[in-house]
């Protein structure tokens, strides 16, 4: 009983997902839906099991470009945010440009990257980076700016330098906001990678979907979508686990265990 | 008063803020000398500019007029040998209590080992022994403010600035911390500038009480508190203490800050 209580959130997620798959399966059999319209979950599962290496290598490519794009987005995004917070010039120029660019549907820019960078993994990484970076920059700027003035005054009164205030006060204070940006960013990076594969290329799950669609191989399309869904979910929860690891003090993580 | 006796010297200090409704005079012609080893309280209602004055002395804000000197050095940025305690404890939630107290060793690149004993001694003095590895959110408000005081005292500053440090605490914790602060002053004779809006607190702790009034923020009067030290809480029941309380209450009524009818 205790185990169930402790994991009730996780168990309810599993129950909802398993229930939905079961209903889908039953409906496909009962209504005799044709496979190329909507394959049953069991059929999709068989598709993956039949050619595991094929899916694995394509998923690996997509995962690699997603992670590379995301990592670059985090590094460049945080550096840009620090610059924007500390320099009026960068705020007026870079931040303004970023916000303006953010209003352009970034998917529409994807073909340009193929022109500039070819059909290898580089344009996919670049597109993932471009789509993921906005939420990271904007949330990091927000977080760095939200630092408590009393806390900054306390540090200044203790003769802290601007750099020390940034590292020891502003950054830890901004982490919660930065993770909010990264949780959005990791999902966006995956979207960027797939968009890149849609536009051009011979590998990746996006390419698998396009290729199978051309052959009306619906089970294979669904298999790729299923893997993408699983990948996105796992990546999201990895970022969330990192958040819990780095922010054990944060109110949103603390629950009711501490405090008076 | 000879020059060496005077630790803080405030001359004709004014502070004017721009605001959408024109300029606001937060401080007007403040003149005050704080002697070495003296405990001075600034007593006044909210909005009288007492926190602004403290920020100017601490070098966190610039005065619009006049000069502030600490040990004959004009204050332009936070000076050495100063500790500040704010109204909120502002402990860093991601550090345990010991690392919060040790914070300034990192800011000033001091040797951690040399200050560890000092930190433990301070925590013990303020009843926080055994809480070194706890995080701020696990402590009560009074304990958090004690930790903030330890942080300010770590490198043994000669000047201690306290901005309504007990304002957010319940009455009993406040009494307790008043006693601890009085004892600390008795033992160390630091120069203390203490800001409060509590009349009994100001009398109990101070050698002199500076009364401020608002609109604009200025010094109304400075009163020597001639009560024996060391002081105990029972002092507050003596007639002489009562006279001081009555005097200040009367003064705030005259200033129109406290209206009885």
d(CA A61, CA A55): 10
In a domain? residue B5: no
B97 plus B47 within the same structural domain:
no
A1 plus A69 within the same structural domain:
no
Of B55, B88, B107, the CB nearest to A164: B107
B152 plus B162 within the same structural domain:
no
B181 plus B251 within the same structural domain:
yes
Q: Which of A5-9, A109-113, B67-71 has the lowest mean pLDDT?
A: A5-9
Q: Are A65 and A201 in contact (CB under 8 A)?
A: no
pLDDT band at B197 (very low <50, low <70, confident <90, very high): very high
Query: Residue A251: what pLDDT?
Result: 65
In a domain? residue A55: yes
- Owning domain of residue A180: 44-252
CB contact under 8 A, A157 and B59: yes
Of B84, B93, B138, the CB nearest to A157: B84
B106 plus B57 within the same structural domain:
no
d(CA B26, CA B44): 13
Average of per-residue pLDDT across A219-228: 95
Report the chain A residue with the minimal C-alpha distance to residue B107. A160
Report the chain B residue with the minimal C-alpha distance to residue A254. B137
d(CA A41, CA A33): 12
A117 plus A202 within the same structural domain:
yes
The string of DSSP letters for A106-158 reads GGGGHHHHHHHH-SSHHHHHHHHHHHHHHHHHHHHHHHHHT--HHHHHHHHHT
Nearest to A193 by CA among A141, A147, A126, A119: A126
Query: Residue A146: what pLDDT?
Result: 87
Q: Is B160 on the interface with A (CB under 8 A)?
A: no
Sign of the Cα torsion B174, B179, B180, B181 reads positive
Q: Is the pLDDT of residue B259 over 80?
A: no
A28 plus A52 within the same structural domain:
no
Average of per-residue pLDDT across A152-164: 94
A123 plus A16 within the same structural domain:
no
Query: Residue A258: what pLDDT?
Result: 40
A87 plus A199 within the same structural domain:
yes
Nearest to A106 by CA among A183, A194, A178, A180: A194
Q: What are the CA-CA distances from residue B212 to residues B27, B50, B249 (Å)?
A: 10, 7, 13
Up-side HSE of residue A245: CA atoms within 13 Å toward CB?
Answer: 6
B208 plus B240 within the same structural domain:
yes
Q: How many domains does chain A have?
A: 2
CB contact under 8 A, A153 and B60: yes
Residues of B in contact with A156 (CB under 8 A): 60, 78
A155 plus A226 within the same structural domain:
yes
> What percent of chain A stands above pLDDT 70?
96
Long-range contacts of B1-6 (CB under 8 A, 24+ apart): B1/B33, B1/B35, B3/B72, B4/B36, B5/B35, B5/B36, B6/B33, B6/B34, B6/B35, B6/B36
B77 plus B182 within the same structural domain:
yes
In a domain? residue B3: no
Q: Is the pLDDT of residue A256 over 80?
A: no
- What per-residue string of b and e applies to A23-41 under the rule 16 or more CB within 10 Å gives b? ebeeebeeeeeeeeebbbb
B162 plus B140 within the same structural domain:
no
DSSP B224: E
d(CA A106, CA A133): 11
CB contact under 8 A, B107 and A160: yes
The residue ranking higher by pLDDT, A145 or A1, is A145
Q: Name B193's Cβ contacts closer than 8 Å, sequence gap at least 6.
A: B8, B34, B40, B41, B42, B54, B57, B159, B160, B161, B162
Average of per-residue pLDDT across B22-41: 93
Residues of A in contact with B137 (CB under 8 A): 249, 254, 258-259
Query: Residue A2: what pLDDT?
Result: 73
Query: Residue B255: what pLDDT?
Result: 87
Q: Could you report the per-residue pLDDT of B43-73, keeping only the tens digit for each?
A: 999 888 999 999 999 999 999 999 999 998 9
Average of per-residue pLDDT across B232-259: 92
Q: Are A107 and A96 in contact (CB under 8 A)?
A: no
In a domain? residue A260: no
B127 plus B196 within the same structural domain:
no
Query: Residue A260: what pLDDT?
Result: 39
A5 plus A68 within the same structural domain:
no
Average of per-residue pLDDT across B170-183: 93
Q: Is the pLDDT of residue B190 over 50?
A: yes
Average of per-residue pLDDT across A35-51: 92
CB contact under 8 A, A249 and B137: yes
Q: Is the pLDDT of residue B2 over 60?
A: no
Of A151, A156, A247, the CB nearest to B90: A151
How confident is the prediction for chain B on average, in pLDDT?
Answer: 92
Average of per-residue pLDDT across A201-211: 92
Q: What is the CATH number of the domain that holds A132?
A: 1.10.3720.10
Q: Is B170 on the interface with A (CB under 8 A)?
A: no
Residues of A in contact with B93 (CB under 8 A): 249-250
CB contact under 8 A, B137 and A168: no
d(CA A113, CA A54): 26
Query: Residue B19: what pLDDT?
Result: 85
d(CA B162, CA B238): 27
> What percent of chain A stands above pLDDT 90?
75
B127 plus B222 within the same structural domain:
no
B202 plus B250 within the same structural domain:
yes
pTM of the model: 0.82
Of A150, A159, A247, the CB nearest to B108: A159
B152 plus B163 within the same structural domain:
no
- Owning domain of residue B228: 36-64+73-81+158-261
Q: Is B107 on the interface with A (CB under 8 A)?
A: yes
B57 plus B162 within the same structural domain:
yes
């Amino acid at each position: 009983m205790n185990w169930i209580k402790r994991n009730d959130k996780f168990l309810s997620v599993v129950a909802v997902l398993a229930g939905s798959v079961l209903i889908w399966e039953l409906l496909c059999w009962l209504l005799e839906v044709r496979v190329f319209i909507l394959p049953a979950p069991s059929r999709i599962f068989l598709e993956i099991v039949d050619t595991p290496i094929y899916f694995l290598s394509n998923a690996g490519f997509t995962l690699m470009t997603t992670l590379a794009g995301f990592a670059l987005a985090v590094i460049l995004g945080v550096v840009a945010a620090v610059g924007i917070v500390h320099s009026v010039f960068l705020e007026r120029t870079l931040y303004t440009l970023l916000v303006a660019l953010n209003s352009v549907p970034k998917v529409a820019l994807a073909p340009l990257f193929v022109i500039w960078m070819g059909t290898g993994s580089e344009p996919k990484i670049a597109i993932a980076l471009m789509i993921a970076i906005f939420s990271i920059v904007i949330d990091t700027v927000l977080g760095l700016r939200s630092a408590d003035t009393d806390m900054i005054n306390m540090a200044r009164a203790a003769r802290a330098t601007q750099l020390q205030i940034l590292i020891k006060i502003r950054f830890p204070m901004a982490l919660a906001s930065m993770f909010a940006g990264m949780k959005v960013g990791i999902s966006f990076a995956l979207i960027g990678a797939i968009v890149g594969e849609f536009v051009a290329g011979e590998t990746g799950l996006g390419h698998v979907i396009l290729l199978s669609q051309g052959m009306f191989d619906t089970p294979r399309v669904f298999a790729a979508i299923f893997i993408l869904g699983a990948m996105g979910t796992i990546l999201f929860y990895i970022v969330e686990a990192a958040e819990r690891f780095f922010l054990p003090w944060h109110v949103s993580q603390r629950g009711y265990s501490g405090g008076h | 008063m000879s020059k060496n006796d005077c630790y803080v010297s405030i001359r004709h200090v004014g502070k004017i803020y721009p605001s959408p409704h024109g300029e606001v005079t937060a401080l007007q012609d403040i003149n005050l000398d704080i002697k070495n080893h003296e405990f001075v309280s600034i007593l006044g209602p909210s909005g009288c500019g007492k926190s602004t004055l403290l920020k100017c002395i601490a070098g966190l804000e610039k005065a619009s007029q006049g000069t502030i000197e600490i040990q004959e050095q004009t204050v332009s940025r936070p000076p050495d040998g100063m500790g500040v305690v704010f109204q909120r404890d502002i402990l860093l939630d991601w550090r345990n209590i010991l690392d919060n107290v040790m914070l300034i060793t990192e800011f000033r690149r001091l040797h951690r080992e040399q200050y560890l004993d000092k930190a433990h001694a301070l925590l013990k003095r303020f009843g926080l022994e055994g809480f070194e590895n706890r995080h701020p959110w696990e402590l009560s408000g009074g304990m958090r403010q004690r930790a903030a005081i330890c942080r300010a005292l770590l490198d043994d500053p000669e000047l201690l600035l306290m901005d309504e440090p007990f304002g957010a605490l319940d009455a009993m914790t406040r009494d307790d911390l008043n006693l601890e602060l009085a004892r600390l002053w008795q033992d160390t004779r630091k120069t203390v500038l203490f800001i409060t809006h509590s009349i009994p607190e100001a009398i109990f702790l101070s050698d002199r009480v500076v009364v401020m009034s608002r609109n604009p923020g200025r010094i109304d009067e400075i009163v020597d508190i001639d009560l024996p030290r060391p002081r105990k809480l029972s002092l507050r029941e003596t007639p002489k203490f009562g006279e001081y309380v009555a005097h200040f209450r009367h003064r705030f009524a005259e200033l129109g800050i406290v209206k009885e009818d």
